[in-house]
Each structure stands twice: as structure tokens, then as C-alpha cells.
Structure 1
Amino acid sequence: MIELFEPWRWRDAKHSYSQAGEDLIIDFVAKAMQIEEVTYLDIGAHHPSQFSNTYLFYRRGFQGVLVEPDPELMASIKRVRPRDVCIEAGVGVTSARVAQFFVMSTRTLNTFSEAEAKRYEAMGTQRIEKVLPVPLITFDDIFADRFLDKEPTLVSIDVEGLDFDVLSTLNLNKYRPAIICVETLQYSETREEVKDTRIAQLMSDNGYFAFGDTYINTIFVDLGRWKSGSKRS
């Protein structure tokens, strides 16, 4: 028997803009922690809505900071998300203030890692389209300029091959976002992906626990604030 489509059945369906439903997990955590205003810092924002861990919250009227080094992608972000602060740069992991940015034929694979860019090319289906000199900023720069009074609820990091390195520069003794979403899976086209276990250990060492994992990304939550049900931020 074929069941007819009945729109009313889907009235309570939740729409996700993330790659694998990460934004809905984040939304659940924020509500469980009684956080009413979800602010965000999106590192490697990529696209205003597609595969975005923050667009759901933008649509609800919240705002934050989007960091994206690709000038073409940033132009699109600025058009669609005018309330957000947009920073056309990368987050540095050394004292350097400029780095080479590899723009790939598949833009979701753009990276500051030359090794990753060449690994993608070696797969045979990707190519480096261009290499751009891009300014670098630090987490301290961003927090001092944009989150001086209160850290964001959410920090989302997706920087293709440098996620651990970038996350390691975030001083979690000084800044305590309630939720941190990080890409923890190395990209592969042969189903031979590798999880970066260093990230989970780093977060555990800093008092965060893995609330959810979508295989691609892991959502970490501040354990102390989770236990207290804090409304902060």
C-alpha cells in the first residue's frame, strides 16, 4: 500500500543547514543550557547557508562573526548575511600575519595547508585553481575586537587539515564558549577517512566533553556549564 503525502505530518519537522545536522544538535544543547541568545564565531564559514553551522541561528535573528579567507565566498556571505560581522582572513597558528591560501576546484576543500591541497590533487578529481596571499588574524584579535564583554555561545571550526592546529591556539582558560563544533574527520574520496583523536583529547584536557558526533564533526560542550545549566551568553 502506498501512503499518500500529507503535509501536516511534516509540520513539526526541523530543517538543518549544516552538513550532517550539527546545527540541530547545537540548538538542542543551547536550549538544554537555557541559553536564550546564541551568538557565534564561525571560522571557515565557506557559504552563507550551505553546510553552515550558524545560519540556523542567523535566521532566528541572532548574529555573530564569520571568518572566511576566500574573497568570492566572502562576497556571497556579505550579501546574504548583512547583520553578521565578516572578516576576510584566516586564523593563524604561528606568528606569521600572511599565508598562502589554496583555492581548490571544490571550494569546500579550500585550505591553508599545502600538504592537504596536494593530497587532494593526488586523489585525481581535485585541482588547485589558484593560490592567494591572505592576511591572518588570531583568536585574541577576534575576541578583543568583537567579543570583549562576552565570549560567543558557539565557536565553529572547519579549516581543512588545520582544525587541531587552529583549535590549539584558542585559549580555553581565558575564553569559554559554551559549545565548540570542530571538523574531526580527514577528507577522503575512498572511504578511508581518519578521525583526529588529538582534538577530543585537547578538549577533554580543557574541561569539555563530546556531546555529539556526526562522524564529520564533533560537538563539544563546556562540562562545568552543562552541569550547572548556566544561562550565561
Structure 2
Amino acid sequence: MPASRDSRQIDRSVTSFFNKWYKSMIELLEPWRWRDAKHSYAQAGEDLIVDFVVRAMQIDEVTYVDIGAHHPIQFSNTYLFYKRGFQGVLVEPDPELMASIRRVRPRDTCIEAGVGVQSATEARFFVMSTRTLNTFSEEEANRYEAMGTQRIEKVLPIPMVTLDQILAERFRDKAPTLVSIDVEGLDFEVLSTLDLGKRRPPIICVETLQYSETREEIKDTRIAQLMSDNDYFAYGDTYINTIFVDRVRWKSSGK
């Protein structure tokens, strides 16, 4: 015998009540489900490696210098720490990208300039069709274009500062917790200007892989040698970037 209209209404009411109850329980339990989850904003999890090192070294206050910041969140080695309430210095020469950085990360100090390897106060900046490949290296810009899928969209005159200038003005005699360098083709040169005898960041993250569209990438072994010569060791490597840690500070933090 077919169900009465009243019984169908009761069934719908019970189903509706159960669905609402189930949804409310899921919303209640969701934070517990994800309470141990870790989200990375970096290109290949570099920020999570840095975060682990920071905790292992018992560093309570995180500061940073992000050279070649590019984007306030995406592919950022420092946004995880900004989100936790820390702040630092972001250096980005592309005016359009810097506008976005200033809007999203107002607590950070933003420097719209390039980091130079000499005393020049201005340099030519090659803006590529893929903005992550922007570079001050004309050789790199031409190499990207020769691959066939990239092009130089424009060349801008950009003011230059030195890494030591930034550290002296923003950190005085101290060093930031993290220095992150991603400057497409000039990473070794910029890193070489850092006077590690004067200021020693506990953690330095550097792009050590040369970009290629044919999977024929080359690791810049000069960077690892430079860091080893200055008593830093490679704590982690994501193939794209290498995270170096001050050996003396690492050993002393475990005592």
C-alpha cells in the first residue's frame, strides 16, 4: 500500500534533520581533523623545512630578508612566518609585483629595488613573459628566450641596493633568522656579497638550480662550496633550492 502523505512528510523531516546534524558535526570536527596539518606556501616545501630548523634551534622570534620576493603568498619562502605574526624585509624590483606585495603584506618592509653585486646604483631589469623568470642577467634572459616559449616583455631601469646595505639599515648589528635568495642566474653572485664574518643568519635558502625547459637543469655547486667554506651545512635540498644552516649555531642550540 503506498505511503500516506503524512508519513512521506515525516520521512523528509527526519532526513532533513539528520543532514543538518551531520553537517554541523562535520563543521565542528573539521578543525580537529586538520589540527596537525601543515600547509606550505613555498615552491617545494622550503618554508616547512625552515620552520622545522627554526623550532629545532629554539628560535622564538623569526625575522627574514626575502630577495626576489616575487609574490606575497605563492612560491613564498617567508609567508608562512608572516602569517604567524612575524615580519621582515621583502625585496622585489618588479613594480607590478611589488604593488601586490605591499597590499597583502603591509607589516613587512618593502624595498622596490634589485640587489646588486657591484657598486652600481641602477641596472637593467629584464621582465619576462613568465614573471618568475625576471632577471638582471641579460645572458639568462636571452637564454630563456632562446628556449622558444619565453620572451622578454620589457627592460626597466631599476635602482640597486646591496645586501649589506639592507642588513645594516634594517637589522644593524644583528642578522635576520632567514635570508632567502632567488634572483634567477645571479644567486651565487648576490650570496657572495654577504659578509658572513660580520653577520651570520642562522638559515640561508638559495636557489641552486639553473632553470631549463628540457629537464637538463644544472646545480650551481659553487654555492654549496661557498657555504661550506663559511661553516654552513646543507640541511635540506628540494632540488630547486638548498637550505643551509650555520653549523656553530646549530650545534650550540642543542645544548
Contact persistence 2:173–2:199 (CA under 8 A) = no
Q: Which residue of 2 aligns with 1:184?
A: 208
Task: Report the counterpart of residue 169 of structure 1 in structure 2.
Answer: 193
Identity over aligned residues, as a percent?
A: 83
Shift in Å, 1:10: 3.9
Q: CA RMSD in A?
A: 1.5
Residue in structure 1 matched with residue 166 of structure 2 by the alignment: 142
8 Å Cα contact 1:39-1:64 kept in structure 2: yes
The structural deviation recorded for 1:87 is 0.2
Q: Kindly indicate whether the alpha-carbon contact (under 8 Å) linking 1:35 and 1:230 is maintained by their aligned counterparts in 2.
A: no
Report 1 or 2 for greater relative contact order, CA contacts < 8 Å, sequence distance ≥ 6.
1
- Structure 1 position 11, deviation (Å): 3.5
Distance 2:201 2:101 in 1: 23
Match of 1:48 in 2: 72
1:221 is aligned to 245
CA separation in 1, counterparts of 2:248 and 2:240?
25
Q: Which has the larger radius of gyration?
A: 2
Can you list the C-alpha shifts for 1:47-83, whole angstroms capped at 9, x where unaligned? Answer: 0000000000000000000000000000000000000
Unaligned runs of 5+ in 1: 1-5
Query: Deviations 1:89-143 (Å, cap 9, x if unpaired)?
Result: 0111112111000000000000000000000000100000000000110122111
User: Aligned partners of 1:108, 1:99: CA distance in 2, in Å?
Assistant: 18
Flag the 1:175–1:230 CA change in 2: closer, same or farther, 3 A. Answer: farther
Letter in 2 for 1:45: A
- The equivalent residue for 1:93 is 117
More helix by share: 2
Amino acid at match of 1:192: E
Mapping of residues 32-181 of structure 1, within 5 Å: 32-181=56-205
Structure 1 SS opposite 2:36: coil
Distance in 1, matches of 2:147 and 2:173, equals: 45
Separation in structure 1 between the aligned mates of residue 81 and residue 177 of structure 2, nearest angstrom:
11
TM-score, length-scaled by structure 2: 0.86
Please identify, of 88-97 and 26-35, the stretch whose mean Cα deviation from structure 2 is larger.
Answer: 88-97
TM (normalized to structure 1)?
A: 0.95
- Taking the aligned partners of 1:75 and 1:178, their CA distance within structure 2 comes to 30
The number of residue pairs the alignment matches comes to 227
What is the distance in 2 between the residues matched to 1:10 and 1:86?
A: 33
